[in-house]
């Protein structure tokens, strides 16, 4: 039978009208089955919330862990002699260290800055001797930011010259107690013998065996006198910023021709590697959730195509091309995804804002364990903008791919067969 040719005006006007109102038509089509639309949008919203909240909890935990590790030993930023990081010899000191510390402390994002000097020496008591790292600190500043100063097992922290604060394992190995005098012997800056006698005023337990068995803190003045450093020399300016997340950017402003400035990623590369490994697992979780949501949306659009087959046949019969119908399905997928993302982002932002302020309490068993590592008894999520962006992009790509599968059926659809599908 010969095909009936419709007048061009009859074909062009409906086509132009439909294309001109494509977004409005696609939005109205979503609500022809409200229950299915809300269920699918709710599934997308739940997936978005799960991705963002999980990543935000992870980021919040990482921030607490990094901050706690930095406050225990390294600080968020260290300004050092250019060669000290790779070659930590006593000779590689900062000149005019006090002036540098004042400049660092004056930065608006710096909470506290203090000086440190470090060396390795032999710690002796009676007939027992062990090697240890000797750290000269400014007690009045160190106690304001260092968590190590609050981890006393016995006694108290440093207050004046002639005192020592050491790890509990080292104290046990030496068989020393509060009030005992220990002798520190090492190599001074000019090659002589560094000798310091200090009274043990406190011991600490950090939970890290390598620190507890090999660290002794004395005052910076005692260190300078014993290791023959000038009154304005130190090995590092330690700085703690208001937020560890931005400390690397702050560190860049302290670099100079005769010094380097290192952020926490340079000072604790093993922690950074651990964070990156954990994030790989999270990204795999992202992919799994995106695949699950994609299959859910595929099911929705397959049902849409089957239910609306006669409608698509009618549209093609009056001149609408299959490509335009496919475009309409993609626009519907866009609206459906946008609705789900709006719900998911809204719920995520509200929940994370509330829990970031109040914290999420942990069980009593976990609280006791965390207290040993000076960690809080609550978890504080930090809203992850990266996770929100990735979730949005992943959902948009997933829903468009989901719409493509049933849309290909429209491409092969014949108007007459589609109209007969009503029967």
Tell me whether residue 87 is exposed, middle or buried, using C-beta atoms within 10 angstroms of its C-beta: 0 to 12, 13 to 18, 19 or more. exposed
Domain assignment of residue 268, yes or no:
no
Q: What's the token pair of residue 23?
A: 């977004």
> Where residue 196 falls among pLDDT bands split at 50, 70, 90?
very high
Token pair belonging to 108: 């608006």
Examine the fold and report which residue of 206, 233, 262 is the final residue of a domain before the chain moves on: 262
> Residue for token digits 């549209």?
315
What percent of the chain has a predicted confidence (pLDDT) above 90? 38
Higher-pLDDT residue of 122 and 40 is 122
Cα dihedral sign, 317-319-324-328? negative
**pLDDT the model gives residue 1:** 37
Q: What CA–CA distance (Å, rounded) separates 315 from 415? A: 8
pLDDT number for residue 9: 45
Structure confidence at residue 365 (pLDDT): 65
Predicted confidence (pLDDT) at residue 163 exceeds the cutoff of 50: yes
β-bridge pairing 193-204 and 163-167: parallel
Model pLDDT, residue 35: 87
Q: 3-state DSSP: the chain helix, strand, coil percent, rounded to 5?
A: 60, 20, 25
**Does residue 320 sit within a domain?**
yes
pLDDT digits 0-9 by tens, 87-117: 999 999 999 999 999 999 999 999 999 999 9
Q: Is residue 315 part of a domain?
A: yes
Cα dihedral 84→87→89→95 (10° resolution) = -20
CA-based torsion, 229, 110, 253, 217: positive or negative: positive
In a domain, 2, yes or no: no
User: Does a structural domain hold residue 71?
Assistant: no
CA gap 58, 379 in Å, rounded: 10
Chain-centroid distance of CA 309 in Å reads: 48
Q: Is the pLDDT of residue 374 over 80?
A: no
Residues 182 and 98 in one domain: yes
Q: Where is mean pLDDT largest: 25-29, 285-289, 340-344, 358-362? A: 340-344
Q: How far apart are CA 176 and CA 167, in angstroms?
A: 11
Q: Is 363 found in the same domain as 398?
A: yes
Q: Is the same domain home to 225 and 278?
A: no
Please tell me the distance from the alpha carbon of residue 138 to that of residue 158, in angstroms, as a whole number: 9
The pLDDT-based confidence of 278 (bands split at 50, 70, 90) is: confident
DSSP 4: P
For residues 253 and 279, membership in a common domain is answered with: no
Same domain, 148 and 293: no
- With 60 as the cut, is the pLDDT of residue 2 above it? no
Regarding whether 195 and 49 lie in a shared domain, the answer is: no
Note whether 121 and 184 are within 8 A (CB).
Answer: yes
**Domain-located, residue 267:** no
pLDDT value at 62 more than 50: yes
Please say which residue of 202, 237, 262 terminates a domain.
262
Counting the structural domains of the chain, the total is: 2
Q: 89 with 236, same domain?
A: yes
Average pLDDT over residues 144-157: 90
Residue 3 domain-assigned?
A: no
- Residue numbers of the domain that contains 328: 9-66+273-420
Same-domain pairing of 236 and 102: yes
Tell me the percentage of the chain whose pLDDT exceeds 70: 90
pLDDT band at 367 (very low <50, low <70, confident <90, very high): low
pLDDT tens-digit series, residues 220-251 = 999 999 999 999 999 999 999 988 888 888 99
> What is the three-class DSSP state of 25?
helix
Domain identity same for 256 and 143: yes
pLDDT digits (tens, 9 = 90+) for 183-193: 999 999 888 89
| End-of-domain residue from the set 262, 297, 328 | 262
Instruction: Give yes or no: residues 84 and 108 share one domain.
Output: yes
Q: Is the same domain home to 108 and 255?
A: yes
End-to-end CA distance of the chain: 22
More confident residue, 157 or 15: 157
Average pLDDT, the chain: 84
> How high is the pLDDT of residue 105?
93
Within a domain: residue 322?
A: yes
Q: Are residue 253 and residue 109 in the same domain, yes or no? A: yes
**Nearest Cα to Cα of residue 95 among 263, 259, 251, 267:** 259
């Amino acid at each position: 039978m010969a095909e009936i040719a419709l007048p061009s005006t009859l074909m062009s006007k409906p086509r132009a009208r439909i294309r001109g109102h494509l977004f409005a038509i696609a939005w109205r089509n979503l609500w022809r089955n409200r229950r299915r639309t809300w269920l699918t949008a709710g599934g997308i919203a739940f997936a978005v919330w799960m991705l963002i909240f999980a990543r935000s909890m992870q980021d919040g935990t990482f921030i607490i862990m990094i901050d706690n590790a930095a406050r225990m030993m390294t600080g968020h930023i260290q300004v050092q002699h250019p060669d000290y990081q790779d070659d930590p010899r006593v000779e590689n000191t900062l000149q005019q260290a006090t002036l540098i510390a004042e400049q660092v402390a004056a930065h608006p994002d710096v909470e506290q800055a203090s000086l440190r000097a470090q060396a390795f020496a032999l710690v002796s008591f009676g007939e027992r001797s062990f090697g240890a790292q000797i750290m000269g600190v400014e007690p009045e500043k160190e106690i304001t930011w260092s968590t190590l100063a609050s981890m006393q097992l016995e006694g108290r922290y440093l207050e004046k010259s002639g005192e020592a604060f050491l790890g509990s394992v080292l104290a046990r190995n030496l068989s020393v107690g509060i009030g005992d005098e220990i002798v520190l012997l090492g190599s001074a800056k000019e090659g002589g013998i560094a000798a310091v006698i200090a009274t043990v005023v406190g011991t600490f337990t950090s939970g890290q065996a390598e620190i507890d068995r090999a660290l002794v803190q004395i005052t910076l003045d005692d260190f300078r006198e014993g290791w023959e450093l000038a009154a304005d020399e130190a090995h590092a300016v330690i700085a703690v910023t208001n937020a560890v997340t931005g400390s690397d950017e702050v560190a860049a402003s302290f670099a100079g021709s005769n010094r380097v400035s290192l952020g926490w990623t340079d000072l604790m590369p093993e922690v950074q590697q651990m964070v990156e490994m954990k994030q790989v697992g999270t990204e795999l979780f992202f992919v799994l959730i995106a695949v699950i949501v994609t299959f859910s949306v595929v099911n929705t659009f397959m049902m849409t195509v089957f239910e609306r087959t006669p409608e698509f046949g009618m549209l093609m019969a009056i001149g609408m091309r299959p490509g335009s119908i496919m475009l309409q399905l993609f626009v519907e997928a866009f609206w459906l995804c946008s609705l789900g993302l709006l719900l998911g982002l809204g719920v995520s932002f509200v929940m994370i804002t509330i829990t970031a302020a109040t914290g999420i309490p942990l069980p009593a068993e976990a609280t006791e364990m965390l207290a040993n590592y000076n960690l809080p008894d609550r978890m504080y999520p930090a809203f992850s903008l990266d996770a929100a962006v990735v979730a949005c992009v992943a959902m948009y790509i997933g829903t468009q791919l989901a719409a493509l599968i049933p849309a290909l059926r429209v491409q092969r659809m014949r108007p007459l067969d589609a109209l007969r599908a009503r029967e």
